[in-house]
Structure 1
Amino acid sequence: MRGENHMMLVLFCLIVFSHFLPLVNSNPQLAPAFYVFGDSLLDSGNNNLLPTLARANFKPYGVDFPGGATGRFTNGRTVADFIAEFLGLPLSPPYLSFRRLETSTGLNYASSTCGILPETGTSAGKCLNLDEQIDLFEKTVREDLPKLFKNTEGLLEYLSKSIFLIATGSNDYSGNYLQPNSYDSSRLYSPLSFAQLLTQSLSQKLERLYKLGARKVITFEIGPIGCQPAISRRYMDRYGQCVEEINSLVSLFNDQLATVLSRLTSTLPGSAFILARDYRLTYDAIKIPLPMLDGQFRYF
């Protein structure tokens, strides 16, 4: 990501940090582990090992990352990388390409093109939908992590203090609902009922994470996908920079997501399901970019 996209990545971090600070203490390492779930915003290399066209293990990806093109869908670090550094933890390695018993500081299960619904993203090849990502996390909890702890109580305490990050849902729109030639979801569901389908499904998956031991969960809103070049350029003559009709679709999801996370926090003992409100900040960053200084974007 370059220019305004990199700027938005930094803004994402600031949003998460502002929500996250009340949950942690003042120790240099703010949590024992950081577990990551989602799509291309957070994928750190899982798709490299899947039979899919959606890979980022070649240039220009990774040109500003110390490890080069690792499979991250950005020129540099992902928002998950920034947060891991903020927590005082190593970057969470991709689950599929790491010897998992060697780490207790977290793993990354994110997979580009996939989403909340199992069919989303399959037109590009194999990806890990959110249920499959949680399946892998369950395997981590049931098979790998117990070997690193003396007893179940120690494992549960570790999980309760760990941080879980989720960014998913945008592909369910851009790669499913808005692709009527490949998927029939837009014919089966109204915009409101599709948002309800997604949030109800996501709620069930979050409850599943809770049952596996997760207690501190940060979930991103879906960003203004109507402003993504891949979408907006289709309608440039009619709409300009952003297609507000498409943005309104994800706003329905975001509104319901806030309600879902609030309900989960109030009903699941000891939990904190936090909404990272990045939609408006991202939208404003696109519409009113930061000033240029000597031909470069000014970053925070």
Structure 2
Amino acid sequence: MGKLNSFCLILTCMCFLQAIVGQGHEAPALYAFGDSLLDSGNNNYLPTWAKANYYPYGSSSFPFPTGRFSNGKNVADFVAEFLGLPLPPPAMSRESEGTVTGLNYASGSCGILPATGLLLGKCLNLDDQIYKFQCLVEGELTHHFGSKRNLLNYLSKSIVIFNIGSNDIGSYPLFLQSRYSTPQQFAQILLDALSKALKILYGLGVRKVVVFEIGPLGCTPGVARTIPHLGPCSEITNQLISIYNTQLDAMLKDLTSTLHGSNFVIARYFSLGLDIINNPSKYGLTDTRNPCCTALFGTSSCIPMVPGCKDAAERFFWDGVHQTEAVYKIESDQCIHNSSFCSPLSIEELVRL
């Protein structure tokens, strides 16, 4: 009887461990593309003014500033933790060498168009990010996996996250409106470029992609205080955002239906972001209007070495543009578990395919 009990206990432990490993590693890697909403430190290695590698950035979750434009982790970090993977390091860092559990290519101030963000210096635009990933696949990953079959199996199970386009759309009424006559024309140019990038990833073997909508940019303290007569949550970019997000949804559905075996998921962030801002108590927040850190002119980056607020876990905005770790956690949890937010499949469902 004792031997039987011991055998059952061992079998139970083995099944439990197998369940944990299976749940954590159904996706072997996480790759992130985008702008400062996902950047984990790529801009630290680039000649740009758009940096977050100084205190108080990162002060809630890291022993030192990492280059994340927040007080702590971002969406890519929380998704990686759910998958049981290490936080994907910035592709520009030495940490990226030999890493097969994923990388982060996102770059603050950059966007879909090559010209976006250049006023602040060098950043990795969408073309740069896709090119670097392509080089990784055709070089280091091909060598690592040995056979094309193993490589394609790895890529097809990996999760890819995009959050890009906010800087392009934010620049439209300020710099780009004279070049593109209508919001519809501008949105189509952005979507054509994004669609091209997604097709390149598909051609390399990627099959599971989550793309975030553009959030309510007019609600950021940076916009509200730079153009105060428009008021909070202004309509300055909402028309363009609405056009873009609607067409993004249609584009992703079309790609899923035409590219065999693909799953392109949209993260419906605009309505969630607006709901959090307008109903903060529903999400455990108290302030959705003011930056937590002392931001430069109250609109943009944190002033170096000045401590942030003590209630960051109850704030929406960390600086004049970016969200707190608390809000990124809300977004990631919704995308991981809620198929009406990340649609038509949550990340939890996506990794099981």
Give the CA deviation at 1:196. 1.1
Paired residues of 1:101 and 1:145 also in contact (CA < 8 A): no
Distance 2:285 2:163 in 1: 29
Deviations 1:98-154 (A, max 9, x none): 244421100010000010111100000000001100000011001111221131110
Matched, 1:162 2:158: yes
2:32 is equivalent to residue 36 of structure 1? yes
Give the equivalent residue in structure 1 for 2:58.
Answer: 62
Deviation per CA, 1:42-85, whole angstroms, max 9, x where unpaired?
Answer: 00010001000000000110111224201000000011000000
2:102 maps to 1:111? no
Distance 1:41 1:186 in 2: 27
Find out whether 1:224 has 2:216 as its counterpart: yes
* Aligned position for 1:242: 233
Partner in structure 2 of residue 45 of structure 1: 41
AA aligned to 1:254 is N
Moved more, 99-108 or 192-201: 99-108
CA distance in 1, matches of 2:205, 2:168: 27
**How far does residue 251 in structure 1 lie from its aligned partner after superposition?**
1.1
Displacement after TM superposition at 1:297 (Å):
2.6
For this pair of structures, how many residues does the alignment match? 271
How far apart in 1 are the matches of 2:125 and 2:114? 6
Check whether the contact 1:100–1:144 (CA below 8 A) recurs between aligned residues. Answer: no
Q: Which residue of 2 aligns with 1:178?
A: 173
Aligned to 1:259: 250
Residue identity matched to 1:243: S
Aligned residue among 201, 224, 229 for 1:209: 201
What amino acid is the match of 1:256? Q
Residues 89 and 104, structure 2, Cα contact 8 Å, conserved in 1: yes
Q: Distance in 1 between matches of 2:193 and 2:143?
A: 32
The answer on whether the counterparts of 2:159 and 2:208 sit within 8 Å (CA) in structure 1 is yes
Q: What residue in structure 2 maps to residue 188 of structure 1?
A: 180
Contact 1:35 1:106 in 2 (8 A): yes
| Greater C-alpha Rg | 2
Contact 1:92–1:108 (CA under 8 A) maintained in structure 2: yes
Normalising by structure 1, we get a TM-score of 0.85
SS in 2 for 1:245: coil
Contiguous gaps of at least 5 residues in structure 2 = 1-20, 287-310, 316-325, 331-353
Aligned partner letter, 1:77: K
Report 1:3-22 matches (<5 A). none
Mapped contact 2:58–2:71 kept (Cα < 8 A): yes
SS at match of 2:65: coil
| TM-score (ref. length: structure 2) | 0.73
**Superposition misfits of 4+ residues, deviation over 6 angstroms:** none
* 59-68 or 38-47, which deviates more: 59-68
1:264-293 deviation line (CA, Å, top 9, x unaligned): 000000100000001101011112212568
Contact 2:213 2:268 in 1 (8 A): yes
- Structure 1 residue identity aligned to 2:210: I
RCO greater where, 1 or 2, for CA within 8 Å and sep 6 or more? 1
**1:76 is the counterpart of 2:72:** yes
Percent same amino acid at aligned positions?
51
